[in-house]
Amino acid sequence: MIAADELSKHFLGTLAVDQLTFQVEAGEVYGLLGPNGAGKTTTLRMLAGLMRPSAGRATICGHDVQREPRRAKRSLAFQTGSTGLYERLTPEETLGYFGRLYGMEPAAITARVAQLSAQLGLGRLQGRRCGTLSTGERQRVSLARALVHDPPVLILDEPTAGLDVMASRFVADVVREARDRGKAILLSTHYMAEAELLCDRIGLLHRGRLLREGSPAELKAERSARSLEEAFLQLINANGGADGTSEGAGA
């Protein structure tokens, strides 16, 4: 349902993503892990149609992201910590507005807003404007906004960043429930424990290239590591170590 086929991206002569190929199937959570500057965010943006690749091809549910952008984007939810909200709208108004943009019927919007409010604990926020919400509260509303049309594909970039323990658990529950319903989920995270708990398969990125791919158990067994974090560090060190760059435009 999600496919990257030799995706590459150059920024002013710097190769941020280098011939990256992987797939995410229905009913699967696939995690992209890597140090800052590895190419995670750039990859997710290319798959979501927000950034044009320098080379290669990305498809969502069989739709080419560049040639069929509307069909591809209707099939996915893309959520990132930098996703903006309209400050003067309440969470309920925000979800209703985006539901209408996706062509949902009023009754379907009402039912979906109620479902997401229960899943993400938004009930007590519904009377407040988004501009008054905390970072964690805004993150939950942002996730609900991405999911309102209930698409078959979820692309989540650091979905629990800035969230407290309870809010992070809400997000983890949403991811598991979506997987159980047959969604294809691509997840980027810095939290190794979170990746080990949630992901069926993991791709380890380093300097834009895919070092290894497999289940958390397979990756740990390959390095005789006690944890995914230990396996991750061994692989990075074996391939020249982290370069220490911060994750920005070429992340």
pLDDT at 243: 56
pLDDT at 171: 84
How far from the centroid of its chain's Cα atoms is residue 37's Cα?
Answer: 16
Bigger pLDDT: 193 vs 54: 54
Phi, psi values for residue 186, rounded to 5°: -110, 120
pLDDT 10s digits, 179-235: 999 999 999 987 888 899 999 999 999 999 999 999 999 999 999 999 998 998 898
The answer, as to whether pTM is greater than 0.85, is yes
pLDDT tier, 78 (very low <50, low <70, confident <90, very high otherwise): very high
pLDDT 10s digits, 4-25: 999 999 998 899 999 999 999 9
| Mean pLDDT (whole number) for 129-146 | 90
Reply yes or no on whether the pLDDT at 67 is more than 50: yes
* Domain extent listing, the chain: 1-75+155-251, 85-150
Print burial letters for 157-181: b (CB count within 10 Å at least 16), e (below 16). bbbbbebeeebbebbeebbeebbee
Is 1-75+155-251 a domain of CATH 1.10.3720.10?
no
> DSSP label at 178?
H
pLDDT at 191: 83
Bigger pLDDT: 106 vs 83: 106
